[in-house]
Amino acid sequence: MIKKAVSYIGIFFLYLLSLMPFWFLYLISDLLYLLVYHVAGYRRKVVQQNLQNAFPEKSVEERKRIERKFYHHFCDLVLETVKAISISPKQLNKRIVATNPELINKVLSSNRKVIGVAGHYCNWELLALSITSNIDRKFIIIYKPLTNKVFDKFFIRTRSRFKGIPVAMKIVLRKMVELKNEPFLTVLLGDQTPVRHEATYFTNFLNQPTPVFLGVEKMAKSFDCGVYFCDMRKVKRGYYTYTAVPLIEDAKAAAPHEITKAHVQYLEKVIREQPEYWLWSHRRWKFKPHDIEGAIVD
C-alpha cells in the first residue's frame, strides 16, 4: 500500500510539472544538466566509451563537445517527456511537425500496412504522440510493461492520449493478426538491444559489430508491410520535424536481412550527421559475436 501511495504522489507531481510552460521546464533542464553531468556524472564512462568506439577518427576534444551537447539534449528530453503528459494537440503540432504525412496516409488508404522504424534519437516519445495526430488509420503503440503497475497504467494512458492503441510487446503479433484485414501503422525502435537468446544477428553499426533485433523484418514480411524510416530532426530547442522515408516497399520480396540492414544504415547516417541527439548513455553493445553461439555476422 505504501509503495502504491508513493507512486500516486509521484504521478501527481509529474502531472503538475507537465503543466508548466516550456520556458520554465528548460530552466529546470539547465539545472538538471549541472547535476547530471558535472555533479553526478551519470553514465559518463559509458557515454565516453560509446563515443570513442563509434568515432575513433575524431579528436578527444571533438568527442567531448558531442558529449556535452548530448547531456544538454538528454536533460531536455527528460523534461519534454514529462511535458508530454499534458501537452495539448495545438502545442504538439506546433513543436513536432510532420513534413509529409500525406505519404503514409496514401499508403494506408490503399489498404496497406506500414511499419515505421525510428531510433532513440531526438524525442521518440513526442514522435509517437505526433504520429497519432497525423494519420487517419489505426496506430499501434508498442510498449514494454513496467513492473510498477501504477506507473505502467499511467504511461499507457499518456502514450494513447491521441488515438493510439497501446499494445504490450509480447502480444503485438497477436494484435497484428487481429488487424490483418485492416490497414494500420506501427513504429518500432530499431536500435533496441535484443535479449541474449534473440541476439543472433550482428551487423556493423557505428564502427562495431552490433546485435540487432529482427522484429521489424519479421513483422514486415509476415504482414506484407511497407517499411519507412521516421527521420526525426531537431530544428532548435523544443522544436522538431520528422519525415517518412521509404526503405522497402515490397517486404516479402526483400532478401534475408535486407530490411534490417536498411534501417540500421539509415539510422547510422542520421546519427553521424548530428550525433548529440542519440542516446549515448544506452548500453547498446552488451554482447559481442563471440558471446553468442551460432551468431550471424553480416
What pTM, to 2 d.p., does this model score?
A: 0.92
Kindly state the percentage of the chain with pLDDT values over 90.
Answer: 60
Query: In this structure, are residues 140 and 188 in contact, taking their beta carbons and an 8 Å threshold?
Result: no
| pLDDT tens digit sequence for 195-242 | 888 888 999 999 999 999 898 999 999 998 999 999 999 999 999 999
Residue in the block written with cell 555533479:
39
Give the pLDDT score at 173. 83
| CA-wise closest residue to 179 among 142, 139, 146, 144 | 139
Give the pLDDT score at 51. 98
Give the pLDDT score at 218. 92
Asked if the model's pLDDT at residue 95 lies above 90, the reply is yes
Asked if the model's pLDDT at residue 156 lies above 80, the reply is no
| pLDDT tens digit sequence for 28-78 | 999 999 999 999 999 999 999 999 999 999 999 999 999 999 999 999 999
The band of 134, judged by pLDDT with boundaries at 50, 70 and 90, is confident
What are the Cα distances from residue 183, in Å, to 4, 77, 106?
39, 32, 11
| pLDDT tens digit sequence for 102-124 | 888 888 888 888 999 999 999 99
Give the pLDDT score at 8. 81
**Alpha-carbon gap, residue 21 to 138, rounded angstroms:** 31
**Dihedral class, residue 168 (left if φ above 0, else alpha if ψ from -120 to 50, else beta):** beta
Q: State whether residue 278 is helix, strand or coil.
A: strand
**Alpha-carbon gap, residue 218 to 144, rounded angstroms:** 19
By residue count, the chain amounts to: 298
The band of 24, judged by pLDDT with boundaries at 50, 70 and 90, is very high
| pLDDT tens digit sequence for 249-293 | 999 999 999 999 999 999 999 999 999 999 999 999 988 888 888
Give the CA angle between residues 195, 200, 205 to the nearest 5°.
90
Residue 215, number of CB atoms within 10 A of its CB: 20
Query: In this structure, are residues 115 and 216 in contact, taking their beta carbons and an 8 Å threshold?
Result: yes
Give the pLDDT score at 133. 79
